[in-house]
Structures are given as structure tokens and as C-alpha cells.
A and B are shown apart, each in its own frame.
Chain A
Amino acid sequence: MTFIGNKSDLRVVGTRPVRPDGVDKVTGRAVFGADAIMSGQITGKVLRSPHAHARIVSIDASKALKLAGVKAVITAADLPNIASEEAFVGEGPMNFRDLSLNCMARGKALYEGHAVAAVAAMTDAIADAALALIDVKYEVLPHVIDVEEAMAPGAPILHDDLFTAGETPKPTKPSNVAKKVRFTIGDVEAGFKAADVIIERRYTTAPVHQAYIEPHACVAAWAADGQCTVISSSQGHFMIRSYCAKLLGIEISNIRVVPAEIGGGFGGKTLVYLEPLALALSKKAGRPVKMVMTREDVFRATGPTSGAAIEMKVGATKDGKITAAQAVMKYQAGAFPGSPINPGLMCAFAMYDLANVDVLGYDVVSNRPKVAAYRAPGAPMASFAAESTIDDLALKLGMDPIELRMKNAAKQGSKTAYGVTHGVIGYEEVLQAAKAHPHWSAPLGKNQGRGFATGFWFNIGGESTGAVFVNEDGTVNVVSGSPDIGGSRASMVMMAAEVLGIDVEKCRAVIPDTSSVGFTNVTGGSRVTYATGMAVTQAAQAVVEDLKKRAAMIWDISPEAVEWKDGEAVPAGANAGGFDPLPLAAIAMKSAKTGGPIGSEVSVNAQGAGPGFGAHICDIEVDPETGHATILRYTAVQDVGRAIHPGYVEGQIQGGAAQGIGWALNEEYIYNKKGLMDNAGFLDYRIPVASDLPMIEAVMVEVPNTRHPFGVRGVGEVPIVPPMAAVGNAIRGAIGIRMEHLPMSPPRIRAAIDGAKMPKAAE
């Protein structure tokens, strides 16, 4: 059963009902990580390294343990010393050993904020006092923060056992370069020879944090019989379960993880920091342990996304056909390997139908917190470089930026550098919608500029479980294993209601613990509405088939002679008999007589997630005397496949654009000479506030994904990809200067205008 072709027949999909979790969230009743309580819980706190890079000579916790009210102290010695093993549990690759070492330093502290010990105590104050009593002797080592300095010969080496992968012959000396990776199609040298115009530039971007409003928080209990319970706020309670099991050596059936509501994640809650420590403390203390990070902890110890240094070269003929595109990208991984360099390389030029592409990437460790996924991991920085360069190309060719992109647009059948051939995609439709939008042709004033940029994200599917259970009064429980971050409860009940032909208010969305629903991957990669939605849709379809059989049984006719229409079983035609329709509630009431409870649980490993494309138009006014850039107008066009709940799709587009604007203008980590972060708080790590942004107009283009019953494409990540280049291109229009460094903060813009040397933040 597919619904793609006939949008007008849809009753629920495409409407805007109130979200199921809305009242709880606006009234404060929703239980987030820090709200969760277990009977008898005590407080856990982490002692963090004050150094960017240091050998841990000794840890003496004896004084802390003597303090009244202290129930346990743990260090790495209390955690299993696990072997190196690659994992795909969260979003992106992860090594279990690295994650264990990231949760608790063993032998060396690799960044300021790296956990070195943890305490459990009766109160917050006692826990704080205990932390101060733990005596850690450090041997401070030389540190390296910048990605290119970390690659340079003679740089302080973080890991003696890290050898660059992807080099032949295999290196014999350890390096901070964890991996070298290259995607190539065609022959770029020949392509550049055929070019009439070549643009070559070098860009740098600062690491930026996801800046979710809710700090990490959990409460965990390790019972005397080995049964473990965790309540935590995350992007995947099954992910929490997998990591805790592996890091602590627990059988999975002995861990139950209960999902708390989540106050934002954006990729940053697809790995663990506190949960294994809370469990280990609980085991030692014999009490449930609650742990809540401060905002400063979040900045110093949890993963932002990579900063990057990118060299880019693009060539084209006089008439605007791009003949070659080349890039070298160096991504910061933080203290352990695993930057999103691969998706960066994949996404840079995926909007274009190019014969010759060569992209080379480096995954580089340095003394910063280990990076975590952040909304379209890796793509925004690559796209900033690519779309800035394409904009300069349009300028040099004297072509309209949208025309230049139209001329080179990827379409069905276009082969990407990373090997995938595009299926049905909506990039050309997005470009057309942008060009037709009144924003594109609106007049501009003095000191104002307009920027245009596009972006790509491949989206993913993966493992999900959805279930639909019919209650005896005809209402329905829609169950899934995906934590609701962006309104997925609404999307799930809407798809189920659509299939069942009932009102969405009759469906209740439930996200149970890991022992009560089948395995489901993290909420990430823009996969939930696609993959979990597919599982829920299939479960609802199975329920409809069952309902038809039940009706056939009641009517004593063949199941083939029953149709399901608008929430009722009806005879398929005159020949089937003259029965009155049987509504869902009537069938549900008699379920005991027709075979028992009605319900279906479906697990899928969804393939065929349709990629998404976005195009953003940004108007900016620059104050030439202060360098302050004001966003005047912002329009974000995106192919959304099909919007299940258009309001939440618009919300995703607006939120992604807002985060991208922050990334473009002011967000950065500022390190001092000691390698310590100077701005670990929202006062000086400047995300946009409401008054910084105009209303962001979201324009949805619908080119349905043929692989999903409703045509869904992931929508959450694409909108953060174009903003940095859109903003940079607008600033270039306003001041006539290409800004090559992010963030494009007022001091940098003023310095660029003055033609002065670019100031480098306090490093």
C-alpha cells in the first residue's frame, strides 16, 4: 500500500494537529533527564582535568572517602579496560575503547574537562567537597589545539598507538592524523585544463557546539542482583543500553533504559558520558546515582562538531559548465579519532552533476573534547567552502548564482564522487522554487547584500521498531523505540491514523523503555520519520489486514470480500452482502470473540532514505563601522519529500537555519595559550537569541521519496548545511569582500573592511 501518488486522498498526513507531547512540555509536566528520580538516589559528580594534556601520575582519593556522606569514588581502575573495537551504535563510527577512555581518562588526560574520577555522595555540597579532596598528580604535557598544528611535524602526539589509516605503506610512526580518505571520479587535472575560469580558496571554520538547552543528565541504579536501570535523556535509549553494556561488561538483558524527554540533542546526545559512570558509582555505593552536568561541563567535556581547514578549487568553462572540483579537508576530531570527514567529503559537491571530482580528507586528533555528531555531521563546513567558491565562480563568470547551479544541477542518474548514483531527487525543483520566490528579486538598500547557497544531506534509514495496538474501546496505542526530539510522536500517530482511517486524537503515542519494544537505532541522521515511520505504517497496515479478517469472521464472508474505508470495514461490493459498516471500535469490542487482542509490531532495517536538498536566500546589512551583520530576511527552500506534519517540518527548517546563522556569525571555541577554553558558557559562546533573527520563511517543495509509503525524506539536517555560505555570500554582497574564516564576527568583518590582518581569537 503506497500513498505517494494521491495526496488529495490523504485525511491526516499534511495537516497540523496539536502535538501529543505539547501540553506536557508547555506546562512543565514533561520529565526531562534532570527531573527523573529514583527512590534513595544520591548525587554523582565528576572531577575533570584542569589541563589540556597531562599524564596522570597518581590519584589519591583516600581523603575524599573519609569525608562523611561520601559513598563511592571511581577512577578508570574501576571500569573494565576494554579492547579496541569499532562500533556503529550512535551516529557515525565509534570505537568502544575510545568511548570508554573518553568517559574516564586512563593514564592520560587528553583535554581540559576530561573526566579523571567521579564521586557519589549524599548531597551536592558533599560531592563538591569530596572532589576538592581528591589528590590527582599530573605531569603536564605539551598540547596542541589547532588542526593544522596537530598535523605538523613535531606536534605533541596524543596517542602512541595511533597510526594514520589509509596511508601506504603503513606508517611506522604514530601520528595525530587518524585517517586519510579520498573520493575521486573522472580526472580533475584534465577538468582544470578544460576550464576557462578557476577559483581557488582556503577556508577555516571553528568547532561549534550543538548548544542543546538541556545539559546531559541521568539517574542509574545497579541492583544487588546485577539488574541495571538507567533513566536518561538521549537520542536513543537503545544506544545508551549498548554502550553501557559494552563499557561495563553487562549482559544486555540486565540493562533496562527508560527514555526521559529530551531538551535538544542535534546529534550531541548520540553517545554516553555520564551513564556508565552513574552505573559504576551505583554499583559501588549500593544506591541509585543521579548525575547532571553543568553548562560549563557541557562545553568543556562534551563533543562539539569539528572545526576545519579546507582548500578548494573549482574550474568552469565560460558558459558556466563546471569542469572540475577539488578539495582538501582537514577536520578536527577532538581527543579521539572520528571526525565526520567522510560525510564532509560526500556532501561538498553532491548537489552537482560533475564529471571530475577529487576530494581528500584528514581526520585529526588534538587536545579538545571528542567531537560528537551535529546536525548533518561534516556537511556544513564542506558546504560553506564549496558554496562560497561556487558563488565566486558565478561572480567571475558574470552569471546569476541560481543559473550557474541550474546548469550543473544533480538530477536522477547523476553519479556522485563517493559512488552513489542519485535516484529521484528534488534539487532542480528547489532551485526553481528559490528563483521564483519574491525574495530573490526584492530590492536591496545601502550596505546590504543578498546571499544564495545550497546544501545536501543523504539521510539515512536503518533499524526501527513500531507497533500499533488496538484498545478495546477502539482507541489505538502507537508505540515506537525512537525518542521524540523534533515532533516524531506527532508524525507517528498521524501515519498510523492515516492508515487506520481514524482521527489522530484516537491514537496515543508511546515511547517505552528498551525492554518493552524492539530495537531501534538512535534518533539521528534524519531517519525517524522515514524508518520508524515505515515500521509504524507497516504495523498499522498489518492491523488493517487483521481488522478486515475480523470483520469477515463477524459477517461470515471471505476476507477478500472486505474493504477498509475511513476507519470502517465495509463489504467490497454488492456481491459481498448487504452488511452495515463495522467501525474500528465495534470490531475492537468483539476482539475476544474473533481471535483475541488486535495489534502488530514491525521491525525494519529501512533502506532507500531519499536525500534532501535545500537552497537558502539571505539578506544582510553590515554596519561598516562596527562590522555588525544584521540578518534582514531569510528564506529556506527545501525538498521535504512529503511533509507528514508541515508545522514541524517548517520548525526543523527554521531551527536548522537559525543554528547555521549562529555558526556563521558568532559561535566559536576560544582557547587560551594553555589550551583551556575561555568561553565555556552561553554568555560568551554566542548562539543567536530571538532578536538576532528575522522570521525565517520555510518553503517546502515536495518531491516524494518513492521508497517510503508516504514519500517521506529526512528533513532535520539539510537546513543547517547552506546557511554559512548563504550568510557569507550575503556579506560579500554587502561589503565586497569574501570572508574565508568562520565565524564572521564583527571584529573580523571590521578588520576585513579595514584591510587589516585578520585578528585571531585569543589563541
Chain B
Amino acid sequence: MPSLNYVAPTTVADAVKILAGASGPTRVMSGGTDLLVQLRTGRLKPELIIDTKKIPGIIGITQNADGGFTIGAATSGALLGEHTALGAAYPGVVEAANLIGSTQVQGRASLAGNLCNASPAADSVPAVIAAGGTVTIAGPNGTRTAAVESIVTGPGKTSLAKGEFITAFHLPPIKGRTGDAYLRFIPRTEMDIAVVGCGVSVTLDASGTITAAKISLGAVAPTQVLVDPACIIGSKLDDAALARLDAAAQAMCKPIDDKRGTIEFRTKVAGVLARRTAAIAVARAGGR
């Protein structure tokens, strides 16, 4: 008979030790809102689950001295939604995280779980990428930092090495007139998986011209993709810039036909969402 063991270490070191020493299929659990569903359907059959939530600091949000944020890996969407300073600085990240699942799921669902589940359709990932997010990774050789866009390597696959897990997310301090936004398309209005997701962050100069931008699309390729921001940098997001952005976003799409959408539909909607998301980000940055 198959068996499933559960451990909840109370230090990062213990967690790394157990993770690195595990011989069979092992999963690290934060909120568990994806993991438990996959256990139930039989898609995953791990022999060991390592619950990180008992590790001090893995749940919680800190605003650093420089104005940036450190978010514990297992911090729930509900906590993100309740953090006033985070919501003011990174509304796009918070709204993306808060789109995941239902109110009940929000009590558990975390950024680390959403990232490491490695679904191309994860809502929070394009938003955190656009915001310039990084992660701290603990492992047998100590800790390292990586950009969020370097983590997912394919559906269900990450760049984390054996024994590694994410302990925290970092969002940089807001510089000048910066705004971010996230939009997704779903056939319904909630409780759904993104057919296309788009996160955008922009920085404007005093005149309202875009000086920096990061644009990330979800659910249109095996991993989240970045759209070259050159198409809008130097513009005030006028109609011509929006048209360039639409085309650039569509050009980055390598989607599949599946139960959630066709290639043609996903590609077109990626362009639509890129335009709409960028417009919100610019407005939040105080432009237009």
C-alpha cells in the first residue's frame, strides 16, 4: 500500500536537510491549495510532504528600510490583500495574488506555491515578474537570490535544485512615478484559470513619458514570457504605442489549443490585455 509522510520542520536548516535527504517523490508545501487538489486527483503521488508554514518568518510581510518589501514565501493572499503599504506600492501584485481561487483559498494560497506549481497560467507570477521581484532560495549550499522569471522552466518544472526551496520574495523600492497592474482573461468572472494573464510595470518621467517598463504574459507559452518594452519606452502610451505593444505581445505568444482557449484566441487576447494592463499601470504611475 502506498504511504504518505508529512513533516513540518521549524527551521530552514531542518527543512533543507529533510528535503535534500529525501529519496522518494517529495513536495514542499506552502498553502497547499494546488498540492492537495493534485493529491486528490491522483496526479501527484508524493511519499513525503514538507510543510514550510511552521518556519518562523515564512509567513509575513516586512517593509524594508529602503522602502522595498520582503514577503515570506508562504504568506497567504488574504494577508497580501490586507497590507496597506504593499497594496499602495504594488497594487498589480496584490490584485494578481488575490485573483487566485475563492475567498477560502485566499486564506492559504501563497506566492511561492503559485510560482513553484509552475503553471504557465499562474496569476501572481507575471505580476511579480513585471514588478521586478526576486526570491531567496535556501538549499544545501546556503542561500541564493534569483529573479522570479528564472524559476519556471516549463509546465510543472522549476530551476530549483535538489534540496532547494523558496523562503522569501522581494519587491524593490518604488522609484519615482511607477505603477503596476495585472489583468487576466477568464470566461467567467471568478473561480477560473487564466486563459491569458498580463502583468505590467511602468516608470514615467516628469512629463509622463515612459522611461522603464516590464511586461510579462502568462498562459500563452510553456512559461511566462517577457515582452520587449522598447515598443512603449519613450512614449506616453499613445495609440501608436498601444498598437506596437499589441503586436509585440502577440508576437511573443506560443500558446496551445486546449480546453481553455484556442491559439488564435489566446494570441489576440494577449494583445488586448497588454494594451489594457499597460494603460492601467500608466494611470497608476500618474500618467495620461
Q: Is B188 close to A, CB under 8 A?
A: yes
**With A125-B1, A750-B268 as given contacts, are A762 and B257 in contact (CB-CB < 8 Å)?**
yes
Instruction: Verify B193–A683 contact, CB threshold 8 A.
Output: yes
Residue of A at shortest CB range from B3? A125
**With A126-B1, A746-B265 as given contacts, are A678 and B189 in contact (CB-CB < 8 Å)?**
no
**With A125-B1, A678-B259, A684-B259 as given contacts, are A691 and B187 in contact (CB-CB < 8 Å)?**
no
Which A residues touch B195, using CB under 8 A? 746
Residue of B at shortest CB range from A684? B259
Which A residues touch B286, using CB under 8 A? none
Instruction: Verify A762–B258 contact, CB threshold 8 A.
Output: yes
- Taken together as a complex, chains A and B put the C-alpha atoms of A626 and B186 apart, in Å, by 10
| Nearest CB of chain B from residue A424's CB, rounded to whole Å | 41
Instruction: Verify B265–A684 contact, CB threshold 8 A.
Output: no
**0/1 string, B1-22, CB within 8 A of A gives 1:** 1100000000000000000000
- Taken together as a complex, chains A and B put the C-alpha atoms of A627 and B195 apart, in Å, by 13
Within 8 A of B (CB), among A711-763: 745-747, 750-751, 754, 756, 759, 761-762
Query: Contacting A751 at CB < 8 Å: which of B1, B185, B265?
Result: B265
Residue of B at shortest CB range from A746? B187
Residue of B at shortest CB range from A665? B187
Query: Contacting A666 at CB < 8 Å: which of B41, B188, B257, B268?
Result: B188
- Taken together as a complex, chains A and B put the C-alpha atoms of A414 and B189 apart, in Å, by 44
**With A129-B1, A626-B272, A691-B189 as given contacts, are A747 and B259 in contact (CB-CB < 8 Å)?**
no
**0/1 string, A292-303, CB within 8 A of B gives 1:** 000010000000
Q: Is B173 close to A, CB under 8 A?
A: no
Instruction: Verify A692–B1 contact, CB threshold 8 A.
Output: no
Which B residues touch A746, using CB under 8 A? 185, 187, 195, 265
**0/1 string, A683-706, CB within 8 A of B gives 1:** 110101101100000000000000
| Nearest CB of chain B from residue A745's CB, rounded to whole Å | 6
- Taken together as a complex, chains A and B put the C-alpha atoms of A761 and B261 apart, in Å, by 8
Instruction: Verify A689–B191 contact, CB threshold 8 A.
Output: yes
Q: Is B238 close to A, CB under 8 A?
A: no
Which A residues touch B53, using CB under 8 A? none
Q: Is A510 close to B, CB under 8 A?
A: no
| Nearest CB of chain B from residue A282's CB, rounded to whole Å | 24
- Taken together as a complex, chains A and B put the C-alpha atoms of A181 and B114 apart, in Å, by 54
Query: Contacting A684 at CB < 8 Å: which of B260, B262, B264, B269?
Result: B260
Instruction: Verify B190–A628 contact, CB threshold 8 A.
Output: no
**With A625-B272, A626-B272, A761-B259 as given contacts, are A756 and B190 in contact (CB-CB < 8 Å)?**
no
| Nearest CB of chain A from residue B96's CB, rounded to whole Å | 18
- Taken together as a complex, chains A and B put the C-alpha atoms of A756 and B267 apart, in Å, by 14
Instruction: Verify A666–B190 contact, CB threshold 8 A.
Output: no
Residue of A at shortest CB range from B271? A625
Query: Contacting A759 at CB < 8 Å: which of B188, B190, B192, B264?
Result: B264
Which B residues touch A689, using CB under 8 A? 188-191
Instruction: Verify A296–B41 contact, CB threshold 8 A.
Output: yes
Q: Is A197 close to B, CB under 8 A?
A: no
| Nearest CB of chain A from residue B184's CB, rounded to whole Å | 11
Q: Is A670 close to B, CB under 8 A?
A: yes
Q: Is A317 close to B, CB under 8 A?
A: no
| Nearest CB of chain A from residue B179's CB, rounded to whole Å | 22
Q: Is A679 close to B, CB under 8 A?
A: yes
Which B residues touch A750, using CB under 8 A? 265, 268-269
Instruction: Verify B187–A686 contact, CB threshold 8 A.
Output: yes
Which A residues touch B260, using CB under 8 A? 684
| Nearest CB of chain B from residue A742's CB, rounded to whole Å | 14
Instruction: Verify B190–A691 contact, CB threshold 8 A.
Output: yes
Which B residues touch A745, using CB under 8 A? 187
Which A residues touch B262, using CB under 8 A? 747, 759
Instruction: Verify A628–B187 contact, CB threshold 8 A.
Output: yes
Within 8 A of A (CB), among B227-268: 257-262, 264-265, 268
Instruction: Verify B261–A747 contact, CB threshold 8 A.
Output: yes
- Taken together as a complex, chains A and B put the C-alpha atoms of A324 and B65 apart, in Å, by 79
**0/1 string, A278-307, CB within 8 A of B gives 1:** 000000000000000000100000000000
Residue of A at shortest CB range from B275? A625
| Nearest CB of chain A from residue B34's CB, rounded to whole Å | 12
Which A residues touch B41, using CB under 8 A? 296
Which B residues touch A692, using CB under 8 A? 188-189
| Nearest CB of chain B from residue A669's CB, rounded to whole Å | 10
- Taken together as a complex, chains A and B put the C-alpha atoms of A692 and B192 apart, in Å, by 12
| Nearest CB of chain A from residue B91's CB, rounded to whole Å | 20
Residue of A at shortest CB range from B190? A691
**0/1 string, A123-149, CB within 8 A of B gives 1:** 001100100000000000000000000
Residue of A at shortest CB range from B191? A689
Which B residues touch A684, using CB under 8 A? 193, 259-260
Query: Contacting B188 at CB < 8 Å: which of A626, A670, A686, A762?
Result: A686
Instruction: Verify A756–B259 contact, CB threshold 8 A.
Output: no
- Taken together as a complex, chains A and B put the C-alpha atoms of A745 and B259 apart, in Å, by 12
| Nearest CB of chain A from residue B227's CB, rounded to whole Å | 18
Instruction: Verify A670–B259 contact, CB threshold 8 A.
Output: yes
Which B residues touch A129, using CB under 8 A? 1-2
Which B residues touch A678, using CB under 8 A? 258-259
Which A residues touch B188, using CB under 8 A? 666, 686, 688-689, 691-692
| Nearest CB of chain B from residue A687's CB, rounded to whole Å | 9
- Taken together as a complex, chains A and B put the C-alpha atoms of A692 and B2 apart, in Å, by 42
Instruction: Verify A751–B187 contact, CB threshold 8 A.
Output: no
**With A683-B193, A684-B260, A747-B261 as given contacts, are A626 and B185 in contact (CB-CB < 8 Å)?**
yes
- Taken together as a complex, chains A and B put the C-alpha atoms of A754 and B189 apart, in Å, by 23
Residue of B at shortest CB range from A691? B189
- Taken together as a complex, chains A and B put the C-alpha atoms of A628 and B272 apart, in Å, by 12
Query: Contacting A686 at CB < 8 Å: which of B185, B192, B258?
Result: B192
**0/1 string, B189-224, CB within 8 A of A gives 1:** 111110100000000000000000000000000000
| Nearest CB of chain A from residue B253's CB, rounded to whole Å | 14
- Taken together as a complex, chains A and B put the C-alpha atoms of A745 and B192 apart, in Å, by 14
| Nearest CB of chain B from residue A292's CB, rounded to whole Å | 13
Which B residues touch A754, using CB under 8 A? 268
Which A residues touch B193, using CB under 8 A? 683-684
- Taken together as a complex, chains A and B put the C-alpha atoms of A628 and B264 apart, in Å, by 15
Most buried by B among A626, A666, A683, A751: A626
| Nearest CB of chain B from residue A272's CB, rounded to whole Å | 26
| Nearest CB of chain A from residue B1's CB, rounded to whole Å | 6
Which A residues touch B1, using CB under 8 A? 125-126, 129
Residue of A at shortest CB range from B260? A684
Residue of B at shortest CB range from A745? B187
- Taken together as a complex, chains A and B put the C-alpha atoms of A670 and B187 apart, in Å, by 15
Residue of B at shortest CB range from A629? B187
- Taken together as a complex, chains A and B put the C-alpha atoms of A750 and B2 apart, in Å, by 48
Which B residues touch A679, using CB under 8 A? 259
Residue of A at shortest CB range from B42? A128
Instruction: Verify B189–A756 contact, CB threshold 8 A.
Output: no
Instruction: Verify A747–B265 contact, CB threshold 8 A.
Output: yes
Residue of A at shortest CB range from B269? A626
Residue of B at shortest CB range from A757? B264
Which A residues touch B192, using CB under 8 A? 683, 686
Instruction: Verify B187–A756 contact, CB threshold 8 A.
Output: no
Residue of B at shortest CB range from A754? B268
**With A296-B41, A670-B259, A751-B264 as given contacts, are A628 and B191 in contact (CB-CB < 8 Å)?**
no
- Taken together as a complex, chains A and B put the C-alpha atoms of A754 and B195 apart, in Å, by 19
Within 8 A of B (CB), among A649-674: 665-666, 670
| Nearest CB of chain A from residue B99's CB, rounded to whole Å | 12
- Taken together as a complex, chains A and B put the C-alpha atoms of A60 and B262 apart, in Å, by 42
Q: Please list the residues of chain A having a beta carbon within 8 angstroms of any beta carbon in chain B.
A: 125-126, 129, 296, 625-628, 630, 665-666, 670, 678-679, 683-684, 686, 688-689, 691-692, 745-747, 750-751, 754, 756, 759, 761-762
Nearest first, the 6 closest Cβ-Cβ pairs linking A and B are: A747-B265, A691-B189, A625-B272, A759-B262, A670-B259, A679-B259
Q: List 7 A-B contacts (CB under 8 A).
A: A625-B268, A626-B269, A666-B188, A678-B258, A686-B192, A746-B195, A750-B265
Q: A125-B1, A129-B1, A665-B187 are in contact. List 5 more A-B contacts (CB 8 A).
A: A626-B272, A678-B258, A684-B259, A686-B192, A762-B257
